[in-house]
Amino acid sequence: MIYFDNSATTKPYREILDSFTKVSLDYFGNPSSLHNLGVQAENLLSRARNQTAELLNVKPAEILFTSGGTESNNLAIKGTAMKYRSRGKHIITTNIEHASVYAAMEQLAELGFEISYVKVNSKGIIELENLEKAIRPDTILVSVIHVNNEVGTVQPIKEISRLLEEHPKVMFHVDHVQGVAKVPLDLHDCRIDFCSFSGHKFHGLKGTGALYMREGVSISPLLSGGSQELRVRSGTENVAGMVAMSKALRFSLEKHQQQLPNMLKIHDYLRKELSNITGVTIHTPNEQIAPHILNFSVKGFKAEVFVHFLEQKGIFISTTSACSSKKKAISKTLLAMGIPDEVAESAVRVSLSYESTMQEAETFIAAVSIAIKQLGEVMK
């Protein structure tokens, strides 16, 4: 099996599963309980928080554990909107955000907030002057995805943060779900107020995540109850999941240091070989991109047909974002980049991990050539 759909989810490391099992069996107490089992669980949760914070170069009190990227995005966006609605009801985002951000914005629009969507250029990058023009006296939040989950473009987060320094009352949220352990991001240097993470994107477990919340800022909770997670996110904590996630983050950051050159080599090989195949159009730009994502179209083929053909060969890739793929809708990101509908509807995404090999890449290229030939003959 060749698994090239790591932007959708990653395979958990064996050590991560072992940690989850051990904590679940041996330290199953509720971390809010006063007895020793509860204290043990609380200590493990604190250690996981401390390790996560250390790896991200932030303070432990700035890390809130969540159930994943979707919850982190919703908590940052809706929590900020509710907290600062008396200051203003204008929010800025881009037109290439993840579905969890889009949906949150749409819901806020129904509640009377005004949302401005800054367009991207043909390379999938927002232009700072357009963002600056969108800022108003009643703007309370700017939310921008760091690494686009479909084409891999990297937004100029540091430059955006410098622009927002001139607007100190505007909060800054970054969806860093696809960038973790692939594209470095200095949360403090970039003056980020909120940053979203998801454990299953870096070989942790599904249902685990975190939200960085800069010290000194506050938001309105979305979940009411026992006042866990600094009174921002109530609910009994998933201790085993968070221990596993902090360990997965450590492993993945170590892999980044060791295996990034190999991932870049594979990415370059795939781009070069795909560009030499007749009928293939590559949508991921040549620069300002993440090392693990490559998006391309094959002229004349429906994306889902191409994906299923490769699946029969034991190769797994995807069409669009996993959160949108079953809707069979054309990629909003590609349309925003000006890609014609008939080209965008045939787009597929390859996404690597540090476990991917050059041999797998070579097998994939050969399978693409065979797929184009055989599907082309069927369609004649």
Residues 356 and 236 in one domain: no
Residues 225 and 146 in one domain: yes
Measured from the Cβ of residue 291, the count of other Cβ atoms closer than 10 Å reads 22
| Mean pLDDT, range 272-289, rounded to an integer | 96
Domains in the chain, number: 2
Residues 278 and 318 in one domain: yes
pLDDT digits (tens, 9 = 90+) for 211-235: 999 999 999 988 888 777 788 887 8
Last residue in a domain, options 215, 235, 250: 250
Q: Quick check: 135 and 106 in contact, CB under 8 A?
A: no
Residues 367 and 301 in one domain: yes
Strand residues in the chain grouped as ranges (E): 2-3, 63-66, 90-94, 114-118, 139-145, 171-175, 194-198, 209-213, 280-282, 293-298, 315-316, 347-351
3-state secondary structure of 380: coil
Q: Supply the pLDDT for residue 30.
A: 85
Q: Supply the pLDDT for residue 326.
A: 55
Residues 136 and 205 in one domain: yes
CATH number of the domain where residue 280 is located = 3.90.1150.10
Please name the residue ranges forming H helices in 84-156: 99-110, 128-134
Residues 147 and 240 in one domain: yes
Residues 112 and 215 in one domain: yes
Q: Supply the pLDDT for residue 34.
A: 84
Residues 237 and 364 in one domain: no
Return d(Cα 93, Cα 146) in angstroms, integer: 12
Residues 40 and 178 in one domain: yes
Q: Supply the pLDDT for residue 379.
A: 57
pLDDT digits (tens, 9 = 90+) for 316-355: 999 975 455 455 678 999 999 999 999 999 999 999 999 9
pLDDT averaged over every residue in the chain? 94
pLDDT digits (tens, 9 = 90+) for 161-206: 999 999 999 999 999 999 999 999 999 999 999 999 999 999 999 9
pLDDT digits (tens, 9 = 90+) for 118-175: 999 999 999 999 999 999 999 999 999 999 999 999 999 999 999 999 999 999 999 9
Residues 164 and 223 in one domain: yes
Q: Which domain holds residue 329?
A: 2-8+254-379
Kindly write down the DSSP assignment for every residue of 280-314, as one continuous string. Answer: EEE-S-SSSB-SSEEEEEETT--HHHHHHHHHHTT
Q: Supply the pLDDT for residue 102.
A: 96
Strand 280-282, strand 293-298: pairing: antiparallel
CATH number of the domain where residue 188 is located = 3.40.640.10
Residues 194 and 301 in one domain: no
Last residue in a domain, options 198, 224, 250: 250
Q: Supply the pLDDT for residue 231.
A: 81
> With bands split at pLDDT 50, 70 and 90, how would you rate the model's confidence at 98?
very high
Q: Which residues are catalytic?
A: 323
Tell the residue number behind the tokens 């939200």, with chain if given. 211
Return d(Cα 192, Cα 10) in angstroms, integer: 26
3-state secondary structure of 195: strand
Measured from the Cβ of residue 40, the count of other Cβ atoms closer than 10 Å reads 18
The share of the chain scoring above pLDDT 90, in percent, equals 86
Last residue in a domain, options 250, 284, 317: 250
Residues 174 and 37 in one domain: yes
Kindly write down the DSSP assignment for every residue of 334-348, as one continuous string. Answer: HHHTT--HHHHTTEE
Q: Quick check: 283 and 296 in contact, CB under 8 A?
A: yes
Return d(Cα 272, Cα 268) in angstroms, integer: 6
